[in-house]
């Protein structure tokens, strides 16, 4: 009995410490009108992937192979937001979030990629949007987040074919027409670089193509082809919106780009150039065409004829094709000059090597994911780089967060002081960037829930809310109370 009482006292003290964790941040720390929200993607939270008329996407087939995730999990059920969206919107309201960034499943709307419309899928997003708006949660809608309809991959190799461009534009057109009276904030594609690289460069993501992969591929050419079509599809959808819907609907449209900050390992000219190449081969791959109408000179030099070129008409289509730029940022790496001549590939074309420590000192504390280090100062540099290099665009931070091990159980999984520390440090750096003139209008924490994390399955948890996988009951973590204190200016 005494041991039980001591345990209860300890848990209560831990909760109080987390609840009262001090910070000098508040909504007033940021520019007036700054939107705070949380983010997800359809495939990671909706579940019901085989129900209600949804067609399969490339991840459904990709995950059938044993070992695709450490726990052999799939997203067939995940956290069942399809049925429990009201619970999740209610959780946002309790925290004080202004907005929710979610994606629409292409194959839930068009099971065959094009053609027949699935009414059940259309109605689901109407229900979600209506409940959000009734609770004053602003929708930020992403049209595509990794989940290409499987049928289009089978018919013409998906993003490797120019046929994908008009098909994506048609899907976008339907969404603008159907939901545009409720949605004023659109993003076309989330992280095209991750799809081009992992989907067609190293085979880590669906459709799993690369040199030597079981599904075939060419790591030296296919990432550039896929990225080219992703850019053209983005620009085509933006043109549809601007020509047909934006004048009446009065919304904005942009794209979401992942951006790790790359810091030179040493301040030699060689490492400085290596860090520059890393930035150009990642963010610049997409931002340079959108801003200037062509790929970065660095990429053209090192990739040569393997890099597609834009026609004059395509240049006019792509350049300026964003009202807002979404930046997804989590971490920072050191970079050094390095020539890997063993195999021609997108990753080797950088002539750079990622390094995670300097003189034996890690760049930052490592999260559960091996790729994620806590490096707040890199966030400031990343945001300022976008501001200064790309004509000071309007920026939304589309994703930012840190994970914990999936094996943590209640109640310990709720005591996420490390996540609070991460957000506190990173938001201080974001404040510094806005004070220095970066036009940041929104910030979205990844993620609302402990959802399905792609190749990590459920072994990695980024959520502010814990989900019991047996009952699907949602339990807010301490980080939700911290966010409420900041957003609502409450003690």
Q: Which of 90, 102, 93, 57 lies closest to 75, judged by CA? A: 57
Q: How many Å apart are CA 266 and CA 280, to the nearest integer?
A: 19
Q: Is 399 a catalytic residue?
A: yes
Terminal-residue alpha carbon distance, the chain = 34
**Which candidate in 222, 263, 280, 399 is catalytic?**
399
Q: Is 191 a catalytic residue?
A: yes
Token pair in block for residue 453: 């994390």
CB within 8 Å of 212: residues ≥ 6 apart = none
- Number of other residues whose CB lies within 10 A of the CB of residue 428: 16
* Contact yes or no for 201/222 (Cβ under 8 A): yes
**Which candidate in 81, 150, 191, 280 is catalytic?**
191
In 154-274, DSSP assigns E strands to: 185-190, 252-258, 261-264
CA distances from 170 to 166, 175, 228, 299, 322 (A): 6, 9, 18, 31, 18
Q: How many Å apart are CA 344 and CA 346, to the nearest integer?
A: 7
What's phi and psi for 384, nearest 5 deg? -70, -30
Give catalytic residues, as residue numbers.
191, 399
């Amino acid at each position: 009995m005494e041991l039980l009482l001591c345990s209860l006292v300890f848990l209560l003290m831990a909760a109080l410490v987390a609840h009262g964790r001090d910070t000098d941040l508040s909504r007033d720390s940021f520019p007036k009108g700054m939107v705070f929200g949380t983010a997800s993607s359809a495939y990671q939270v909706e579940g019901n992937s085989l129900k209600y008329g949804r067609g399969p996407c490339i991840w459904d087939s990709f995950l059938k192979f044993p070992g695709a995730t450490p726990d052999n999990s799939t997203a067939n059920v995940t956290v069942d937001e399809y049925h429990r969206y009201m619970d999740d919107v209610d959780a946002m309201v309790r925290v004080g979030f202004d907005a929710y960034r979610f994606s629409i499943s292409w194959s839930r709307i068009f099971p065959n990629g094009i053609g027949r419309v699935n009414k059940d899928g259309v109605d689901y997003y109407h229900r979600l949007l209506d409940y959000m708006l009734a609770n004053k949660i602003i929708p930020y809608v992403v049209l595509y987040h990794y989940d290409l309809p499987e049928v289009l991959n089978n018919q013409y190799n998906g993003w490797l074919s120019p046929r994908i461009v008009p098909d994506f534009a048609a899907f976008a057109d339907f969404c603008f027409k159907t939901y545009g009276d409720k949605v004023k904030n659109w993003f076309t594609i989330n992280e095209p670089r991750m799809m081009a690289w992992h989907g067609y460069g190293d085979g880590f993501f669906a459709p799993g193509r690369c040199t030597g992969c079981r599904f075939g591929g060419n790591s030296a050419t296919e990432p550039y082809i896929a990225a080219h079509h992703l850019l053209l599809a983005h620009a085509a959808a933006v043109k549809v919106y601007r020509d047909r819907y934006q004048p009446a609907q009065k919304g904005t449209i942009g794209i979401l780009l992942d951006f790790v900050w790359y810091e030179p390992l040493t301040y030699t000219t060689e490492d400085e150039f290596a860090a520059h190449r890393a930035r150009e081969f990642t963010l610049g791959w997409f931002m340079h065409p959108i801003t200037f109408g062509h790929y970065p000179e660095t990429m053209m030099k090192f990739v040569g004829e393997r890099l597609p070129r834009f026609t004059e008409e395509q240049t006019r289509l792509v350049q300026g094709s964003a009202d807002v730029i979404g930046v997804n940022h989590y971490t920072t790496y050191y970079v050094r000059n390095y020539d890997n001549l063993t195999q021609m590939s997108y990753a080797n074309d950088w002539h750079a090597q990622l390094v995670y420590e300097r003189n034996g000192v890690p760049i930052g504390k490592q999260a559960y994911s091996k790729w994620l280090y806590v490096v707040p100062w890199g966030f400031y540099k990343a945001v300022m780089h976008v501001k200064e290099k790309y004509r000071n665009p309007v920026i939304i931070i589309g994703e930012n967060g840190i994970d914990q091990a999936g094996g943590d159980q209640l109640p310990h999984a709720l005591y996420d002081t490390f996540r609070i520390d991460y957000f506190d440090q990173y938001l201080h750096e974001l404040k510094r960037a806005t004070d220095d003139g970066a036009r940041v209008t929104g910030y979205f924490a990844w993620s609302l829930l402990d959802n399905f994390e792609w190749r990590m399955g459920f072994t990695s948890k980024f959520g502010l809310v814990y989900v019991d996988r047996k009952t699907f009951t949602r339990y807010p973590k301490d980080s939700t109370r911290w966010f409420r204190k900041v957003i609502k200016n409450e003690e």
